[in-house]
Amino acid sequence: MKDIYILGIESSCDETSMSIIKNGCIEIATTVLTQMDTHAKFGGVVPEIASRMHTENITMVLEDILNKANMKVEDMDAIAVTYAPGLLGGLLVGVEFAKVLSYVYNKPLIATHHIAGHIYANNLVEKLEFPLLALVVSGGHTELVLMEDDYKFKVIGKTLDDAAGECFDKVARVLGLPYPGGPNVEKLALEGEPTYDLPVPMTNNSLDFSFSGLKSAVVNLNHNETQRGNEVRKKDLARSFQDVAFEELVKKTKMAIETYNVKRVIMAGGVSASKALRTKMQDMCDELNVKLSVPPIKYCTDNAAMIACAAYPKFIKKEFVDLDLKAESQVDLFGE
Ligand code: KG4
Ligand code: ZN
């Protein structure tokens, strides 16, 4: 069979990214232009600024990727774009840009769900083998997803309130750490001890998660100690918080493995970039004799390589979309 080249486009949050992927799993070139420094000044992503920056940068990113790959848009077999979920303004920029490329160069258009992208990032290291269990942990999502086959997603557990990454970002702000919170909390936690007693989320018998109580406990503890004029041991607080949050992720993943008797687990999304989480999850999987696979850190956070990877099964099935494709801020993975 002839080689298939897919150009992926991602702009759902604060990264403008494009990637060219061969046959659904071989990276030819990827560019990720992050706006992190700009948003860091505001302590989080400002949607209006994000969409304006996507508009300013997107043609530059295309030029860059084509130069790196030494290819032309004409060489592509399809254009894939994140259409949901995410910040609507950002998604719109990517979707409209993809439509223009599809129309002008007469290439099929593929609509990719962002979370499907995070899951399919694994194909860049190791082909997904079904059935599998995916723990998706990002800034907007915390979900346990069972997959029987390509695009057969069954969400068996999800957060009832905050996403894990969102919680890391909030705790980072409270601790005076810059955005994005996760990697900075991780760094601080490395130097701390888990000496603060924080509440374990109360969702014991279900596969759902809840992180808002834990987040509030950190916020309140910090506030009360500061009010009393006591010193907050930030390193210890970061470590205590991280330990409880990760224990919860590992505990529910273990419950899901045992309930559904799966043999393969993958982790996906920004929070799975954490070395501490990777180690804890690996230990648990070793204990249960289950194979764990996690994409390299650069493919855990938002990127377009994962979008092109996730588009490949759709290309094979010729699941293309028309130029009336709309960006949407909220679409369940169920909808796929
Ligand atoms: O997948 P992602 O890049 O964007 C979304 O789709 O949300 O995930 C970003 C999230 C942020 O909340 C960030 O704080 C978190 O992933 N994150 C981490 C780490 N690296 C990124 N959380 C904990 N530890 C990390 N090392
Ligand atoms: Zn993401």
Residues with pLDDT less than 50, the chain: none
**Residue 209, ligand 1, Cβ within 6 A:** no
Return the pLDDT at 142: 95
User: Best mutation site among 138, 190, 277, 331 for ligand 1, i.e. most ligand atoms within 8 A of its Cβ?
Assistant: 138
Q: Which amino acid is at 89?
A: G
Return the pLDDT at 334: 64
Return the pLDDT at 43: 82
Both structure tokens of 12: 């759902």
How far is residue 153 from each of residues 12, 98, 131, 137, 262, measured CA to CA in Å?
Answer: 21, 25, 10, 16, 14
Kindly report the average pLDDT of the chain as a whole number. 95
Q: 300 C-alpha vs ligand 1 centroid, how far in Å?
A: 8
Structural domain containing residue 229: 129-294
Q: 165 C-alpha vs ligand 1 centroid, how far in Å?
A: 5
Q: 201 C-alpha vs ligand 2 centroid, how far in Å?
A: 24
Residues 185 and 89 in one domain: no
Spell 201-239 as b/e; 16+ CB within 10 A means b.
bebeeebbbbbeebbebbeebbeeeeeeeeebebbbbbb
Task: Tell me how far apart the alpha carbons of residues 300 and 267 are, in angstroms, rounded to a whole number.
Answer: 9
Residues 236 and 192 in one domain: yes
Task: Tell me, yes or no, if the pTM score tops 0.85.
Answer: yes
**Residue 303, ligand 1, Cβ within 6 A:** no
Q: Is residue 116 a contact partner of residue 266, using CB atoms and an 8 Å limit?
A: no
Nearest atom in ligand 1 to 172's CA: 14
Q: Is residue 58 a contact partner of residue 16, using CB atoms and an 8 Å limit?
A: yes
Query: What spatial distance separates the first Cα and last Cα of the chain, rounded to whole Å?
Result: 27
Both structure tokens of 334: 């169920």
Residues 280 and 190 in one domain: yes
Return the pLDDT at 166: 93
Residues 173 and 241 in one domain: yes
Residues 23 and 114 in one domain: yes
Domain count, the chain: 2
**Residue 140, ligand 1, Cβ within 6 A:** yes
Q: Is residue 6 a contact partner of residue 24, using CB atoms and an 8 Å limit?
A: yes
Residues 104 and 211 in one domain: no
Residues 210 and 77 in one domain: no
In the chain, how long is the greatest CA-to-CA distance? Answer: 70
Return the pLDDT at 335: 53
**Residue 177, ligand 1, Cβ within 6 A:** no
Task: Tell me how far apart the alpha carbons of residues 49 and 87 are, in angstroms, rounded to a whole number.
Answer: 11
Residues 111 and 216 in one domain: no
Q: 34 C-alpha vs ligand 2 centroid, how far in Å?
A: 13
Residues 141 and 251 in one domain: yes
Find the radius of gyration of the CA atoms of the chain. 20
User: Best mutation site among 16, 143, 168, 249 for ligand 1, i.e. most ligand atoms within 8 A of its Cβ?
Assistant: 168
Return the pLDDT at 156: 96
For the segment 77-100, what is each residue's pLDDT rounded down to a tens digit? Answer: 999 999 999 999 999 999 999 999
**Residue 90, ligand 1, Cβ within 6 A:** no
Residues 304 and 178 in one domain: no
Nearest residue by C-alpha to atom 19 in ligand 1: 182
Q: 73 C-alpha vs ligand 1 centroid, how far in Å?
A: 31
Return the pLDDT at 179: 84
Q: Is residue 167 a contact partner of residue 215, using CB atoms and an 8 Å limit?
A: yes
Return the pLDDT at 61: 98
**Residue 168, ligand 1, Cβ within 6 A:** yes
CATH code for the domain of 101: 3.30.420.40
Nearest residue by C-alpha to atom 7 in ligand 1: 139
Residues 135 and 252 in one domain: yes
Q: Is residue 98 a contact partner of residue 320, using CB atoms and an 8 Å limit?
A: no
**Residue 139, ligand 1, Cβ within 6 A:** yes
Residues 97 and 116 in one domain: yes
